[in-house]
């Protein structure tokens, strides 16, 4: 059997086995992910040393990027809840956007925040708002979290200066400003479609945070109860400024860092002030600052033991999230190192597919194989840019095609898939796919329609 075909067969068998273990057996998701890693590596012809290195590298890199952020974010979320800050945020949202507009409000928030901030960091920071809204007005956490998560991932995938779109723009040689402006317009129908789906899904998966503790409840569906906030006597909760300060400060720091890295010359970046803001705007440092602010601005009235107990409770909650997220990263690395994604992409590139669809199809396949949207779009751009140039295709449209294709069917090998489902308390594999895999595929499908329509006019 040719080596490339062997890798593809290993991929298909491994993913089928993973789905079977998660859905039909008692094997825990984390263990199932590691078993799938080994099985795919062995069947794909990787050496034992390469398999171990890929698992360790994928696990370590994923947690190195977002593990500390998850820990900080979950602890910060607990303080938001116990101090009443999350309730103040919920009240503010209702006043600003009006009743029964929570889903588009959260989608808009994610849409804006993820332009400078990584989507996983943004979701961890913003999720306490969705959770408190769910608890207070009795709307499903799923119906609120899906629009928020989708708004975050759509602009993260389509709009510079996040690394993926920025890399695609560089490979295709398109103007970043044009890419940003047109990308924002293309993202709007994607966000609208996923928000509608999220609102619909919230009625089908009606899950609420428990009134006390960290659990979840599945009562029969009921209409939102805005009177639970409106008729509730005001109690001593933080001011709007104090409630939002630990949330907004990290976002501003990350934004400053992102803008400086994208706009300043290499010489200007050596200035002391720039390096200070670069350090403070690193996501780990920025979210850590947010955690410290939440402790000293929101929890200053609480006893030391109570605050520490709350943070330890958050750390216990984040433990399984970290393991499963790292397992997803390990699977993605094994699939990447096996070479299956590149092999499939190269085979597609040699077919008579319309040139403007080529980046979209290759990004779609690479995304499905190894899980990272950023890797998918840059791989697609690198393979197809020479072909598009030779065929005199529209480079800007080709760049959007690579970015949109990377949104396809996020599932077990994507760390963001686990962050969203675990923070929403969704443990059932079929529901996890409905919550996030279907959501990203809707955004992907809308992107394909826009691409086809645009190609009629600009070629």
Does residue 140 have a cis peptide bond before it, meaning omega lies within 30 degrees of 0? no
What confidence score (pLDDT) does residue 331 get? 83
Q: How far apart are CA 433 and CA 332, in angstroms?
A: 17
Number of domains in the chain: 1
Query: How far apart are the C-alpha atoms of 330 and 370, rounded to whole Å?
Result: 10
Average pLDDT, the chain: 85
Residues 6 or more apart in contact with residue 243 via CB below 8 angstroms: 80, 84, 85, 86, 88, 89, 92, 237, 298
**Confidence (pLDDT) at 97:** 84
* The pLDDT of residue 231: 45
Distance CA(356)–CA(368), nearest Å, equals: 20
Predicted local distance difference test score (pLDDT) of residue 232: 45
- What the block records as the tokens of 171 is 């490979």
Mean pLDDT of the 432-443 span: 97
- Pick from 434, 379, 445: which is nearest to 407 by CA? 445
Upper half-sphere CA count for residue 283 (Cβ side, 13 Å):
22
Contact criterion met (CB below 8 Å) for 43 and 14: yes
What pLDDT is stored for residue 26 in this prediction? Answer: 79
Q: Which of 126, 146, 139 is nearest to 435 (CA)?
A: 146
Residue among 119, 154, 158 nearest 397 (CA): 158
Give the span between the Cα atoms of 186 and 397, in whole angstroms: 11
Please, are residues 69 and 121 in contact by the beta-carbon 8 Å criterion? yes
Question: Residue 220 gets which letter from DSSP?
Answer: P
pLDDT in tens, 48-86: 999 999 999 989 887 887 788 878 877 887 788 788 887
CA–CA gap between residue 355 and residue 315 (Å, rounded) = 49
Domain that holds residue 251: 5-458
What's the pTM value of the predicted model, to 2 decimals? 0.79
| Alpha carbon separation from 88 to 84, 93, 231 (Å, rounded) | 6, 9, 15
Question: Given a cut of 70, is residue 308 above it in pLDDT?
Answer: yes
The answer to which of 4-18, 255-269, 301-315, 423-437 has the lowest mean pLDDT is 301-315
Looking at residue 234, what is its pLDDT?
53
For the chain, how long is the longest CA-to-CA vector? 72
Residue 230 has pLDDT above 60, yes or no: no
Q: Which of 323, 308, 315, 370 is nearest to 342 (CA)?
A: 370
Residue 386 CA to residue 406 CA, distance in Å, equals 19
Q: Which of 28-37, 170-179, 252-261, 345-354 has the highest mean pLDDT?
A: 28-37
Lowest mean pLDDT among 90-104, 144-158, 219-233: 219-233
Q: How far is CA 445 from CA 153, 190, 297, 378, 408, in A?
A: 15, 9, 44, 20, 8
């Amino acid at each position: 059997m040719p080596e490339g075909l062997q890798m593809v067969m290993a991929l298909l068998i491994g993913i089928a086995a993973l789905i079977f273990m998660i859905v039909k057996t008692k094997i825990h998701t984390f263990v199932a992910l590691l078993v799938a890693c080994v099985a795919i590596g062995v069947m794909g012809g990787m050496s034992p040393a390469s398999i171990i290195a890929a698992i360790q590298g994928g696990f370590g890199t994923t947690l190195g990027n977002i593990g500390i952020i998850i820990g900080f974010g979950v602890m910060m979320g607990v303080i938001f809840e116990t101090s009443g800050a999350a309730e103040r945020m919920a009240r503010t949202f209702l006043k600003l956007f009006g009743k029964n507009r929570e889903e588009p409000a959260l989608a808009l928030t994610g849409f804006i925040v993820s332009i400078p901030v990584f989507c996983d960091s943004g979701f961890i920071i913003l999720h306490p708002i969705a959770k408190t809204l769910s608890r207070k007005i009795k709307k499903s956490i799923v119906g609120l979290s899906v629009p928020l998560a989708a708004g975050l991932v759509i602009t993260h995938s389509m709009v510079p200066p996040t690394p993926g779109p920025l890399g695609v723009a560089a490979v295709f040689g398109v103007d970043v400003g044009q890419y940003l402006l047109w990308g924002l317009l293309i993202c709007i129908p994607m966000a609208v479609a996923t928000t509608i789906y999220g609102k619909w899904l919230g009625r089908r998966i009606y899950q609420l945070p428990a009134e006390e503790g960290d659990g979840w409840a599945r009562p029969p569906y009921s209409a939102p109860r805005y009177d639970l906030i409106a008729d509730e006597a005001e109690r001593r909760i933080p001011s709007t400024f104090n409630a939002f300060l630990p949330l907004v400060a990290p976002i501003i720091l990350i934004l400053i860092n992102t803008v400086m890295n994208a706009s300043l010359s290499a010489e200007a970046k050596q200035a002391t002030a720039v390096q200070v803001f670069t350090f403070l705007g690193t996501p780990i440092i920025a979210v850590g600052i947010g955690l410290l602010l939440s402790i000293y601005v929101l929890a200053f009235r609480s006893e030391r033991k109570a605050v520490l107990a709350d943070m330890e409770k958050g750390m216990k909650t984040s433990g399984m999230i970290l393991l499963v997220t790292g397992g997803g990263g390990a699977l993605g690395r094994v699939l990447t190192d096996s070479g299956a994604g590149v092999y499939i992409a190269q085979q597609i590139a040699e077919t008579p597919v319309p040139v403007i669809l080529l980046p979209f199809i290759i990004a779609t396949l690479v995304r499905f194989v190894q899980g990272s949207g950023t890797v998918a779009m840059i791989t697609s751009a690198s393979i197809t840019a020479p072909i598009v140039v030779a065929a005199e295709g529209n480079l800007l449209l080709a760049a959007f095609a690579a970015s949109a294709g990377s949104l396809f069917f996020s599932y077990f090998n994507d760390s963001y898939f686990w962050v969203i489902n675990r923070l929403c308390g969704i443990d059932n594999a079929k529901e996890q796919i409905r919550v996030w895999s279907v959501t990203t595929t809707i955004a992907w499908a809308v992107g394909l329609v826009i691409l086809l329509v645009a190609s009629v006019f600009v070629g």
